[in-house]
Every structure is written in C-alpha cells, then in structure tokens.
C-alpha cells in the first residue's frame, strides 16, 4: 500500500534547506517501512519504499538484489548504469586511480587550480559570485587533469560543461552541449588510443584499452565529468554558505589546519549533495522484520540517515565542525559507493581553508534568506553565492 504522502525529491524542509522534511523524521521513528510517492523530474512520479534509518540504508545498499536497473538512463561506460559482475569488471579498471594515496599525489595540482580560482575571485572584486568563479571551475579543472584535456582546450571545456550541466538552460541547449561534449570525449579517447596520457583516462586505455570499446571509454570520461563536477561544486557552495552563517565554525576551518579533515567530514554529513539514492529490488529484501518486495522501487534517504542518532548521543541536527567525526553515508555504500570520495575530500580540504585564508573578512553580499537553494534538484546546492570582503 502506498501512503498518500508525497516526499519531494530532495526531501528538504521549506525554510531550512539543510534539514529533512518532517515526514522523513516520522518515517525514521516508525517501525514500519513507509511506501510513498516521489515526484521526480527525470523519472516522473513514482511509488517507492523510503528507507531512512542509518543501518537500514547501509544494509539495503549493500544488498546485491537492490539494483540500479532503470533508476538512471543507460550510458555505456557509466558505472551507475551497471549491476553485478559487469559493474565489478568495469569498476576494477578504475579503482587504482582513485585511492587515498593517489588523491594525496594530486594535492599539488589541486592547490594550483584553487589558487588560480582565488585569483579570479580577487580580480572580480567584492560582489563576486563564488559559485561561478570558485566552486564550479575547481572540479572542472581537476577533471581536465583526470581526462588529460590539453591546456588550450580548457576554457572551452569549462564553458561547455557549465552549459551542459546547467539545468536552468532549455533542454535543447543542454542536449546540444552534451552532444558536443560527447564528440569531444570521443576525440580525447582517440588521442589516448594513439598515445595514452599519464592520467586516469590514459591509464585505462593503456591497461584495458583492448577490453573496452571507444564508446565505453568516452562514457567513462563523461561519467567522471558528471559525477565529479556537480557534486563537488555544490558541496563547496553549500559548505561556504553554511560557514559564512557560522563565523565561529568558519574560523576553525580558516585557522586550525589540524581540524580541517574533521570539519570536512562534518560538512559532508550535514550538506548531503546527493540527497536520495534510487534503486529497484530484483528480489525480496529483508529489512528488520519486514520485506521490500521484488520489483518495488526504493529510495534511500541519505539526508535522513545522516541525522539518525543511533547510539551517538550527539545532536546531529546541528552543524558542529569540532565534534568527533560522525558516521555518514554521503558517499553512498555498497558496490556503487563513490569511487571519487578520496579525491572529493582532498578538493574540499584544500579549497575551503584556502578561500578563508585568502579572504579572512569574507562575508555574504546578500541576506542569508536571499540565497537561492536548489532544494528540488538531484544534486542539492545553491545557485549563486555573492560575497564581499
Ligand atoms: C562531495 C563530492 C561527491 C559526493 C557527495 C559524491 C557522492 C556519490 C554517491 C552518493 C555515489 C553513489 C551513487 C549511488 O549509489 O547511487 C557516488 C558514485 C560515484 N562517484 Fe561520487 N561523489 C562526489 C565526488 C566524486 C568525484 C570527485 C568523482 C570522480 C571524479 C566521483 C565519482 C563517482 C563515480 C564514478 C561513482 C559511481 C560509482 C559506481 O557506480 O560504482 N564522485 N558518488
């Protein structure tokens, strides 16, 4: 039976964009799993079991009967389009490029990209929009490094990415830019086939090129762009928006280098850019004393799970960058757990303190209530972040 309640795709409370809607807290307290209607811009409205408790989300995401199948449009080479052994085979080709060690090695490149973005913010002067000048260019340029995009192409690559991934553009404009991007990726793949570069895409071509088609390789490139761009840009923007409203916590990130890693974990727990993870059950899946039935759609609410108290005794509705690191599922769990999470952490650990150190007097140039949050987008964030200093 489906309840009559609808849970908005982001599941975020009106007036407090970082908090879940009350229905999600109620569902979390309820012993019985809730079946709800989820309106989705991509999939149309669909009925689903909503899973909200931390342990339940973790258990169902780890269950191989829970499939991506049909939850996302299919794209060759995109890990989120595959399940089971096909997924494992493709993922194994990429894991060595995304270890914690690899992320540490990338730190100098990330620092360079961050410094260049900060120079642009300074050039623009007070009133600058950090989304446009800081949060968006950083992940794009980091991905250029992963894909081996030549320096001469980077400005155009950035422009095309911004348009292709800006959902406020018309569908035609987005499709046109996405097609251009696909053609560009095909060109990059052809280049790596001739002379594989020293980067993620080049390494995959060198080591596994004979097992992958050109469209799978281009799809891997596109996946990295999509998975690693919007998520970082929006985490940066939401984290900055939050910290500017909590100056005492901002000071910790700015002045205490040893506290930065913990602060980043707390921001990831609290911000939750990928609010829900959609799936479908390919068999009956036990959840405590109940079952998700074969064929049912499932929505794992990371937003609710990250505030599930469990035995912690902490007030998890509050942002506290100084608290001991709390468990969170912001990078998902199970076979599809975020491949780029170590790189993501490194980008945030470098970018946030660098911003607040370059502009120690940084503050919002608009009233906090004027910030336009993307509460109903697939990736939560804020559309613009005008600042002054
Ligand atoms: C703060 C930043 C990020 C967040 C919050 C995030 C979150 C996530 C989540 C929740 C998933 C699992 C999706 C699901 O289970 O349905 C995922 C998967 C993935 N992420 Fe990230 N991500 C981030 C950054 C990145 C970066 C920087 C990259 C690489 C450049 C990346 C690459 C991927 C890939 C390839 C997958 C698919 C893995 C698979 O299906 O096996 N992500 N990410």
| Ligand 1 atom closest to Cα of residue 223 | 35
Q: What is the pLDDT of residue 42?
A: 64
- 62 Cα–ligand 1 center, Å: 16
- 388 Cα–ligand 1 center, Å: 32
Q: Would 342 be classed as within a structural domain?
A: yes
Q: Which residues pair with 388 in a beta bridge?
A: 363
Q: Would 306 be classed as within a structural domain?
A: yes
Q: How many structural domains comprise the chain? A: 1
Considering only CA atoms, which residue is closest to atom 15 of ligand 1? 336
Q: Would 7 be classed as within a structural domain?
A: no
**Mean pLDDT over the full length of the chain:** 91
Q: Would 2 be classed as within a structural domain?
A: no
Q: What is the pLDDT of residue 1?
A: 46
Q: Which residues pair with 16 in a beta bridge?
A: 13
Mean pLDDT of all residues in 212-241: 94
pLDDT in tens, 307-336: 998 767 789 999 999 999 999 999 999 999
Considering only CA atoms, which residue is closest to atom 38 of ligand 1? 336
pLDDT in tens, 80-110: 999 999 999 999 999 999 999 999 999 999 9
Residues lining ligand 1, Cβ inside 6 A: 79-80, 91, 223-224, 227-228, 231-232, 235, 273-274, 277, 330-332, 336, 338-340, 343-344
Q: What is the pLDDT of residue 162?
A: 77
Please name the residue that has the structure tokens 């085979």: 89
| Ligand 1 atom closest to Cα of residue 344 | 27
Contact status, residue 272 vs residue 330, Cβ threshold 8 Å: yes
Q: How many residues does the chain have?
A: 389
| Ligand 1 atom closest to Cα of residue 235 | 1
Please give the radius of gyration of the chain, using alpha carbons only, rounded to the nearest integer.
Answer: 21
- 226 Cα–ligand 1 center, Å: 9
Tell me which residue of 65, 146, 136 sits closest to 109, measured CA to CA.
146
Q: Would 161 be classed as within a structural domain?
A: yes
Residue 352 burial (C-beta neighbours within 10 Å; 0-12, 13-18, 19+):
buried
Contact status, residue 218 vs residue 363, Cβ threshold 8 Å: no
Q: Residue 211: give its domain's CATH number.
A: 1.10.630.10
> How would residue 172 be classed by pLDDT, with cut points 50, 70 and 90?
confident
Q: Would 154 be classed as within a structural domain?
A: yes
- 156 Cα–ligand 1 center, Å: 25
> How far are the Cα atoms of 321, 346, 356 from residue 108, in angstroms, in the given order?
25, 10, 19
Mean pLDDT of all residues in 182-191: 94
43 has a pLDDT exceeding 80: no
User: Whole-angstrom distance between the N-terminal and C-terminal Cα of the chain?
Assistant: 54
Q: What is the pLDDT of residue 2?
A: 47
Considering only CA atoms, which residue is closest to atom 21 of ligand 1? 338
**Pairing relationship of beta strands 276-281 and 66-67 according to DSSP bridges:** antiparallel
Q: What angle do CA 172, 157, 169 make, to 5 degrees?
A: 25
Please name the residue that has the structure tokens 């499932």: 298
| Ligand 1 atom closest to Cα of residue 98 | 29
> How would residue 71 be classed by pLDDT, with cut points 50, 70 and 90?
low
Considering only CA atoms, which residue is closest to atom 17 of ligand 1? 338
Mutate which of 78, 331, 347 for ligand 1 pocket (most atoms within 8 A of beta carbon)? 331
Mutate which of 60, 142, 341 for ligand 1 pocket (most atoms within 8 A of beta carbon)? 341
Q: What is the pLDDT of residue 5?
A: 64
- 332 Cα–ligand 1 center, Å: 8
147 has a pLDDT exceeding 90: yes
Residue 13: left (phi > 0), alpha (psi -120 to 50), or beta? beta
141 has a pLDDT exceeding 70: yes
pLDDT in tens, 328-381: 999 999 999 999 999 999 999 999 999 999 999 999 999 999 999 987 677 888
Q: Would 5 be classed as within a structural domain?
A: no
| Ligand 1 atom closest to Cα of residue 334 | 15
Q: What is the pLDDT of residue 176?
A: 85
- 340 Cα–ligand 1 center, Å: 6
pLDDT in tens, 149-166: 998 898 888 888 877 766
Q: Would 300 be classed as within a structural domain?
A: yes
Percent of the chain with pLDDT over 70: 94
Angstrom distance (rounded) from CA 296 to CA 26: 21
| Ligand 1 atom closest to Cα of residue 80 | 40
Domain that holds residue 48: 12-388
| Ligand 1 atom closest to Cα of residue 332 | 10
pLDDT in tens, 247-289: 999 999 999 999 999 999 999 999 999 988 999 999 999 999 9
């Amino acid at each position: 039976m489906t309840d009559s309640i609808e849970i908005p795709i982001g599941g975020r409370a009106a007036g407090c964009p970082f908090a879940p809607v009350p229905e999600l807290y109620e569902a979390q307290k309820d012993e019985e799993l809730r079946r709800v209607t989820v309106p989705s811009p991509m999939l149309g409205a669909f009925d689903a079991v909503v899973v909200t408790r931390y342990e339940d989300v973790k258990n169902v995401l780890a269950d191989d009967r829970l499939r991506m199948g049909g939850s996302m449009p299919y794209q060759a080479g995109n890990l989120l389009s595959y399940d089971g052994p096909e997924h494992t085979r493709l993922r194994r080709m990429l894991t060595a490029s995304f270890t914690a060690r690899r992320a540490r090695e990338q730190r100098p490149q990330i620092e360079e990209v961050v410094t260049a973005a900060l120079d642009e913010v300074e050039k623009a002067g007070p009133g600058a929009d950090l989304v446009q000048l800081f949060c968006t260019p950083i992940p794009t340029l980091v991905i250029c490094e992963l894909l081996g995009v030549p320096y001469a192409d980077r400005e155009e690559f950035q422009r095309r990415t911004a348009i292709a991934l800006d959902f406020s553009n018309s569908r035609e404009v987005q499709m046109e830019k996405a097609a251009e991007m696909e053609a560009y990726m095909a060109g990059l793949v052809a280049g790596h086939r001739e002379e594989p570069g020293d980067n993620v895409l080049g390494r995959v071509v060198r080591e596994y090129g004979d097992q992958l088609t050109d469209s799978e390789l281009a799809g891997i490139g596109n996946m990295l762009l999509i998975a690693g761009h919007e998520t970082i840009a929006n985490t940066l923007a939401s984290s900055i928006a939050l910290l500017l409203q909590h100056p005492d916590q901002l000071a910790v990130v700015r002045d205490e280098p040893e506290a930065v890693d913990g602060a980043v974990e707390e921001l990831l727990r609290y911000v939750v850019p990928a609010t829900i993870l959609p799936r479908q059950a390919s068999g009956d899946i036990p959840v405590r004393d109940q079952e998700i039935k074969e064929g049912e759609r499932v929505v794992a609410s990371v937003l609710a799970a990250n505030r599930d108290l469990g035995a912690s005794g902490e007030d998890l509705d509050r942002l506290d960058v100084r608290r001991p690191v709390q468990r969170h599922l912001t990078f998902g769990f199970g076979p599809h757990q975020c491949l780029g999470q170590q790189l993501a952490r490194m980008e945030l650990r470098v970018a946030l303190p660098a911003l607040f150190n370059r502009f120690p007097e940084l503050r919002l140039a608009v009233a906090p209530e004027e910030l336009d949050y993307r509460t109903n987008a697939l990736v939560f964030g804020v559309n613009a972040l005008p600042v002054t200093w």
